[in-house]
Amino acid sequence: MSWNDKLAGEDDPEVVQALRNFKACIDAWSDAAMSRPRTGKAGGRSWRLSAAWALGCAIALGALTGTVYERQHQQELTRVAAAKAAAQKVSQESVVLRQKLASQTNEDLLANVDVDISRAVPAAMEPLAQLMDEKQGDENGTE
């Protein structure tokens, strides 16, 4: 027994007409819903597009960060190499100075000590000592 057979058995024609109209409305709504374009697939594409952009941005950020890190690392290596070169230069200069001092004979060193000891005043005080000598000469000459 189908739906239409059940409606045919009804006594009230208004109820039968109302049920037929309701069935027609449901069928029309169902057909409209089935023919409507699907939005689920567009949402999937949108998600994929967003994921692709996010992945692209992450890759670009990673490349930029790697470049900055590599540059700073190279600068640090350059600073270390410059410091080593400066330390090596100082070391070579100290070796040359030691060789120079070692090449002086004991007699030269003793002569330098004799000169330093025989001075009346230290080398740094000589200009003041000369001034004192000039003042004493002026006082002795005027008396």
The 10s digit of each residue's pLDDT in 22-43 is: 999 999 999 988 888 776 555 5
Under 8 Å between Cβ of 7 and 16:
yes
The 10s digit of each residue's pLDDT in 44-90 is: 577 888 899 999 999 999 999 999 999 999 999 999 999 999 999 99
Q: State how far the Cα of 41 lies from the Cα of 47, in Å rounded to an integer.
A: 10
* Mean pLDDT of the chain, nearest integer: 82
Residues 6+ apart with CB under 8 A from 8: 16
Q: Which sequence spans correspond to the domains of the chain? A: 1-36
The residue behind tokens 């004979």 is 105
The 10s digit of each residue's pLDDT in 108-139 is: 777 877 877 876 777 788 888 888 777 776 66
Q: State how far the Cα of 15 lies from the Cα of 58, in Å rounded to an integer.
A: 66
Q: State how far the Cα of 20 lies from the Cα of 4, in Å rounded to an integer.
A: 9
Q: How far is CA 39 from CA 4, 34, 45, 75, in A?
A: 36, 12, 10, 54
